[in-house]
A = this chain, B = another copy of it.
Amino acid sequence: MATIFNKVDIVNQYSWVCIMFNAISIEATFYLAHAIKQQLGSQLEAHQLGIAPMHVRVLKIIHKRKSCTAIDIANLFKRDKAQITRLLKGLIDQGLVKKESNPEDKRSQLLVLTPQGKALQEDLLSISEQMQKQMTQDIDEKDLDVFIKVAQTMTKNLANT
């Protein structure tokens, strides 16, 4: 994983970007998303879980959503179904997910976690809770709530095209 800068470096460089740029919320979002991805990647590597960040997100959906199909996941993540097919293949190859026939639609398969997948999901739950706790440290609960609501609204505003 890449060298992670100490806080002074982050403060100085990030502040410069914020001062100099017009699209501050866009840049702030990109910075945060990149930092999350890097940290998640580091954690997955440190725990030697052998999966990538998008795999983690897919496993979560399968774990939580009943009667989950590939097109469900594609729709939830706004991704091309081809990409979801590939991500699922990787998880199936690693024995973490399996397909069951969908009694309601022969074209489609229901996705379920294997026992191994469920075990891994427990580890991932712990990791993401830990990350969430770390990144929200010293942030007011109300401010965090505003962050989530603003992010949600901006996502919707961008979809309105």
Q: Which residues of A contact B (CB under 8 A)?
A: 2, 4-7, 9-11, 13-14, 16-18, 20-36, 38-39, 42, 57, 60, 64-65, 75-80, 125, 128-129, 131-132, 134-139, 143-144, 146-161
- Beta-carbon contact of B28 and A152 below 8 Å: yes
Which of B21, B35, B143 contacts A158 (CB under 8 A)?
B35
- Beta-carbon contact of B28 and A151 below 8 Å: yes
Nearest CB in chain B to that of A3: its residue: B78
A19 to chain B, nearest CB (A): 9
Which residues in B have their C-beta under 8 angstroms from that of A155? 10, 14, 28, 31-32, 35
CA–CA, A35 and B23, complex, Å: 15
A157 to chain B, nearest CB (A): 5
- Beta-carbon contact of B78 and A21 below 8 Å: no
CA–CA, A44 and B146, complex, Å: 30
- Beta-carbon contact of A148 and B18 below 8 Å: yes
Which of B7, B34, B60, B150 contacts A147 (CB under 8 A)?
B150
A63 to chain B, nearest CB (A): 9
